[in-house]
Amino acid sequence: MKVKVIPVLEDNYMYLVIEEHTREAVAVDVAVPKRLLEIVGREGVSLTTVLTTHHHWDHARGNAELARLRPGLAVLGADERICALTRRLVHGEELRGMRCRWVAVACAWRAQLSKCIRAWSRPWKVFCGHEHTLGNLEFAQKVEPGNDHVRAKLSWAKKRDEDDMPTVPSTLGEELLYNPFLRVAEEPVCKFTGKVAPAEVLEALCRERASFERAAEPLQPQARALLALQWGP
Ligand SMILES: [Zn+2]
């Protein structure tokens, strides 16, 4: 089995999971169908299923077009709002196809989700929907300045960024060492937030992360803008 990562839009990832034995493939979060079908064609695989993590346009907007282009395609996800859904997965449902397990998680509360994740197996690979690793680790360093795992991963992520290479996948075991959102019971994380109850620590982290984002990245769209047209002297 292999997983192809396909960067699209500003910093989104689509994934194509290929079972080499059967030449069947599952796509995850199809935002740009044309780009996905190019890769499907190049790999010479048969696309059977689309999995959509959530209904936001940058993860689900290609479903309707893809379903039109590929009649019979299964479009799966855990939320009714996902465009062109053919079957809604229930919380905890496992799809056993290929050589991996797909577990649907429909958690209404972040605290619940964090608990679910911590119960999973540490070697599990983590493929995220956006390339936000650098910003996430800079925030992690602000939360836990003394965490060596954060420092090491951050210097690795900077190198990946310079080389314009994706940082996915990580493993759940790794994330538990440096991701503050999975470390809500750790003393330095509690101290940073000034809270003790895990749900409150998590809420405080989310608020801090949102303001950290705004402070760190206000100039980014301008820095990335390309000149499309110029007229006059
Ligand atoms: Zn998104």
Can you tell me the distance from the alpha carbon of 162 to that of 147, in angstroms, rounded to the nearest whole number? Answer: 23
Alpha carbons within 13 angstroms on the beta-carbon side of residue 172 total 12
Question: Helix, strand or coil for residue 218?
Answer: coil
pLDDT recorded at residue 36: 97
Can you tell me the distance from the alpha carbon of 30 to that of 36, in angstroms, rounded to the nearest whole number? Answer: 7
Measured in Å, residue 12 CA sits from the centre of ligand 1 at: 7
Measured in Å, residue 90 CA sits from the centre of ligand 1 at: 21
Residues of the chain with pLDDT under 50: 218, 221
Measured in Å, residue 181 CA sits from the centre of ligand 1 at: 18
Residues pairing with 81 in the sheet:
none
Provide the CA 185 distance to its chain's centre, in angstroms: 23
Measured in Å, residue 130 CA sits from the centre of ligand 1 at: 6
Domain topology for 2-106: Metallo-beta-lactamase; Chain A (3.60.15)
pLDDT recorded at residue 45: 96
pLDDT recorded at residue 216: 62
Measured in Å, residue 231 CA sits from the centre of ligand 1 at: 35
What ranges do the domains of the chain cover?
Answer: 2-106, 133-220
Which burial class, exposed, middle or buried, applies to 97 when counting CB atoms under 10 A from its CB (0-12, 13-18, 19+)? middle
Measured in Å, residue 11 CA sits from the centre of ligand 1 at: 9
Q: Which residues, by Cβ under 5 Å, contact ligand 1, an ion?
A: 58
Cis amide prior to 218 (ω within 30 degrees): no
Measured in Å, residue 55 CA sits from the centre of ligand 1 at: 9
Q: Which residues 6+ apart lie within 8 Å of 216 measured at CB? A: 135, 138
pLDDT recorded at residue 110: 62
pLDDT recorded at residue 230: 74
Question: Helix, strand or coil for residue 6?
Answer: strand
Measured in Å, residue 15 CA sits from the centre of ligand 1 at: 14
Measured in Å, residue 146 CA sits from the centre of ligand 1 at: 30
Measured in Å, residue 233 CA sits from the centre of ligand 1 at: 40
Can you tell me the distance from the alpha carbon of 170 to that of 13, in angstroms, rounded to the nearest whole number? Answer: 14
Measured in Å, residue 229 CA sits from the centre of ligand 1 at: 29
Measured in Å, residue 21 CA sits from the centre of ligand 1 at: 32
pLDDT tens, 61-110? 999 999 999 999 999 998 899 999 999 988 778 776 666 666 666 555 56
